[in-house]
Amino acid sequence: MVRVLARELGSRAITVNSVLPGPTRTDGFTRQAGNSVEELIAPTPLGRIGEPADIADTVAFLTSESGRWITGQAIHAGGGLF
């Protein structure tokens, strides 16, 4: 769907991307994960769970002038977990 929308809206200078967050420290995630948070951290190359700001920074980049040439992409923002 992202690629289709990117092709449809590109002529209007509109970029379309999706952000795929990995495990992110939110109230809901922490409550659901419980003690298994440490198990989730172990295989991540960056050695930590994502913070909401990590995902927000990715979105901010894509919506900034610096991200103007990126469209039709699924950006994995999971700290290398994928």
Which domains are seen in the chain, by residue range? 2-77 (3.40.50.720)
What are the C-alpha distances in Å from 79 to residues 12, 17, 33, 43, 57? 32, 18, 18, 10, 13
User: Residue 37 pLDDT more than 70?
Assistant: yes
pLDDT at 82 over 70: no
φ, ψ of residue 57 in degrees (nearest 5): -65, -35
Mean pLDDT for the chain? 91
Q: Which of the 8 DSSP states describes residue 43?
A: T
pLDDT at 21 over 70: yes
